[in-house]
Amino acid sequence: MADLDGARWLVLDLDRPPPGGDPLLADARAIAAAEPRVLDAGWACYLAAPLRAAGGRRAGDAPLDLDQWRRRPGVRRAWIQDDDTILAGLPWRDGKAGFEAGGWRTGRDDLLLIAGPCAVESREQLDEVAAGVAAAGARWLRGGAWKARTSPYDFQGLGARALELLRDAADRHGLAVVTEAIGSDELRAVAELADVVQLGSRNAQNFPLLRKLGAVGKPVLLKRGFGCTLRELEYAAEYVLAHGNPRVLVCERGIRSFESATRFTFDINAVPLLKQRVHLPVIADPAHGTGQAALVEAVARAAIAAGADGLMLEVHPDPARALSDGRQAVPLRDFARVVESLRPVAAAVGRRL
Ligand SMILES: [Mn+2]
């Protein structure tokens, strides 16, 4: 977490498209040169344009004439902000359209349902799951190609072959593909075949990878690290946004607590808190958040009631034989019933599923 040290940002939302080269920096320098008092006064100056950001900051709290900045050519809006979530924070969204990710449009009433096995195990397994979850209303097919497993002797995933299977099954059943890139090597392949790139909980603060996700050209689903604060999740999102990718979704997937009755503790607080702090879609993962299939439905309902924009569920045709995370997988034969049970909750909070 950044040490704010009393520093504050002057955020300038520039509405002129940058003209090439490193134009934002040029803009920043031009404006700073024209307004030396601002820097002399110890004010941090952060100049941001759509998808690009540059600047520096210094501690200080001299009074600042915001109106003077708002009158400058090319400056659409100007405001002062204390924290570093400049592009992820709510003020940045104002007046900007949402985005499209895997056929789903953010900022609307319809909830995003993501479902699939923890890991891609075979063509047959994946095809059966894809058909079942598509029929029940899922839009994205999940499934691990490379798995970041705790033990080196656990199933590590089918790798590149799984990506092809995902693409094929998703295309046949009208789904989009979201799958995890566990490292830089895998990222290239995932970005090519998947519709949405997932960053896993164990990589939540892998800053080199977060920077690369900024340039990946596909939407990114960021899972919260199970040992990360919400502020750290917000900053992970800010990394991706600041490195050029405006399409970021954040996912609460449970944190490690003293409680041992469940695998992780789903942090229901995270859902409304993130909605109040960032403009990014908030997805809930009650499978990893509980680790128990019998709890998934209830926690999924709670997450929708709390304001989640989507759910990610693990589904398996035969959980007892799953190669990973079988205990938290909803059996495929139960999936449609589980989704049905969520619909009244969604309707009660003005959402559609
Ligand atoms: Mn899993």
The torsion angle over the Cα atoms of residues 189, 191, 192 and 194, rounded to 10 degrees, is 100
Greater model confidence, 243 or 322: 322
Of 53, 84, 115, which residue constitutes the final position of a domain?
84
Ligand 1 centroid – CA 213 distance (Å): 21
Confidence at residue 49, expressed as pLDDT on a 0 to 100 scale: 47
Radius of gyration of the chain (CA): 22
CA distance 102 to 80: 34
Sign of CA dihedral 169, 253, 92, 41: negative
pLDDT of 177 strictly over 90: yes
On the question of pLDDT at 277 being above 80, the answer is: yes
Q: How far is the CA of 259 from the centre of ligand 1 (A)?
A: 20
Q: What confidence score (pLDDT) does residue 53 get?
A: 39
- Element spanning 254, H or E: none
pLDDT of residue 39: 57
Contact 73, 39 (CB under 8 A): no
Using the 3D structure, point to which of 84, 109, 134 is the last residue of a domain: 84
pLDDT tens string 84-110: 888 899 988 877 788 999 999 999 999
How does DSSP classify residue 111? P
CA of 288 to the centre of ligand 1 (A): 6
Residue written as token pair 């990222």: 187
Residues near 19 by beta carbon (within 8 Å), at least 6 away in sequence: none
Residues 185-219: pLDDT tens digits? Answer: 999 999 999 999 999 999 999 999 999 999 999 99
In this predicted model, what pLDDT tens digit does every residue of 133-160 receive, in sequence order? 999 999 999 999 999 999 999 999 999 9
The pLDDT > 90 percentage for the chain reads 71
Confidence of residue 114 (pLDDT cuts 50, 70, 90): very high
Cα 236 to averaged position of ligand 1 atoms, centre (Å): 21
Number of domains in the chain: 2
Query: Are 133 and 182 part of one and the same domain?
Result: yes
Neighbours of 220 (CB within 10 A): 26
Q: How remote is the CA of residue 3 from the centroid of ligand 1, in Å?
A: 34
CATH number where 341 lies? 3.20.20.70
192 CA distance to ligand 1 middle (Å): 22
Distance 304 CA to ligand 1 centre (A): 21
Ligand 1 centre to CA of 177 (Å) is 15
Q: What is the pTM of this model?
A: 0.90
User: Domain containing 139: what range?
Assistant: 100-348
